[in-house]
Amino acid sequence: MLEDVKVRLKSLGVTVSNEPSNPDEIMLEFCIIKVTNHINNQTNLSEIPQGLHEIAVDMVVGEFLNAKKSMGSLDVETLNLEAVVKQIQEGDTNTVFAIEANSTPEAQFNAFIAYLQHNEVDFARYRVMLW
| Residues 79-122: tens digit of each pLDDT | 655 545 555 555 666 556 555 555 677 777 778 888 888 767 77
> Would residue 44 be called left, alpha or beta, if left means φ above 0 and alpha means ψ between -120 and 50 degrees?
left
- pTM flag (> 0.85): no
The pLDDT of residue 131 is above 90: no
Number of Cα atoms under 13 Å in the Cβ half of residue 65: 31
* Mean pLDDT of the residues in the chain: 79
User: What is the reported pLDDT for 29?
Assistant: 92
